[in-house]
Structure 1
Amino acid sequence: MYKHILIPVALDHETLVDRKLEIARHLLAEDGRITLLTVLENIPGFVSEFVDLKIDNHLTQKVEDRLRSAADGDERISCKVVTGKPGVQIAAFAEAAGTDLILVGSHHPSAQDYFLGSTASRVVRRAGCSVFVVRDSDG
């Protein structure tokens, strides 16, 4: 059983959240905890000149609200939003938080990703803890 399970939630893969939470709850130690994490990629400088929206002011709060909704009031689940490259930030967050399992989703991969999605593949290579890859049943 795992004490701290990290579940990265990509905005375009939200359909996997319920399935990942179900699996995490089966793998979680009695006194364990789960963290839902979304990594928002930084906007390149050349694009930010044309965008008035500040990510930290609007998008971060909306994403946190969606993560809390997915947690459905479960007190064992915390929700975090960070910025950066997902494959790097997920592994770094897991190490800093003392995570012992990352439960990452993967679907619709191409051959270049060795049958994993690109973010899942990067997390598997970088993580210092165990990684459980949940395959989308549609992919």
Structure 2
Amino acid sequence: MYHNILVPIAFDTDHDTTAPLKLARMLATPNARITLLHVIEHVPAYAISYMPPDYANETRKAIEAQLNEMAATLPNAVGEVIEGHSGRSILDWTSEHNPDLIIIASHRPGMQEVIMGSTATQVVRHASCAVHVVR
């Protein structure tokens, strides 16, 4: 059983968010802290000029609301949104908050992940705690 669980959440069609949440509930101690973390990738400077002026703020608010809704289904869970590169930012967050388990969703790797690597791969390779990958 784990006391401090991190569940990185990706909002896309390739990742199922229900399986990691169920697993977190099963592996958590009764007083465990569960953090649902979403990393907002930086929008390149050349693209930001094509976005509406309030794009970043509205996107962040929507993601925070969705994370908080998900967190409400788990005991002692909170949602958190940070910005940066997903893999590196997750690892930086873990070095500051010391979770004892990361539950991360992954999709079947394609050719792009073989060449460049995926977020889950980066987290598995470099995390200093247990990592459970859910497909």
- In the superposition, the TM-score normalised over structure 2's length comes to 0.87
Residue deviations 1:31-90, cap 9 Å, x none?
Answer: 211000110100111112222334542111100111111223544100000111101111
Q: Quick one: structure 1 residues 54 and 83, their matched pair in 2 at CA, closer, same or farther if it must change by over 3 Å?
A: farther
Distance across 2 between alignment mates of 1:113 and 1:89: 18
Is the CA contact 1:3–1:100 (under 8 Å) kept in the aligned structure 2?
Answer: yes
Runs of 5+ in structure 1 lacking a partner?
A: none
For the pair 1:57 / 2:74, whether they are aligned, the reply is: no
Structure 2 match to 1:127: 127
Over aligned residues, Cα RMSD in angstroms? 2.0
Structure 2 match to 1:86: 86
Runs of 5+ in structure 2 lacking a partner?
A: none
- The 5 Å alignment of 1:11-90 reads 11-13=11-13, 16-90=16-90
For the pair 1:10 / 2:14, whether they are aligned, the reply is: no
Q: CA deviation at 1:112?
A: 5.7
Aligned to 2:12, the other structure's residue is in SS state helix
Identity within the alignment, %: 35
Number of equivalences: 133
Segments ≥4 residues shifted beyond 6 Å? none
Distance across 2 between alignment mates of 1:132 and 1:74: 18
- In the superposition, the TM-score normalised over structure 1's length comes to 0.85
Aligned to 2:57, the other structure's residue is in SS state coil
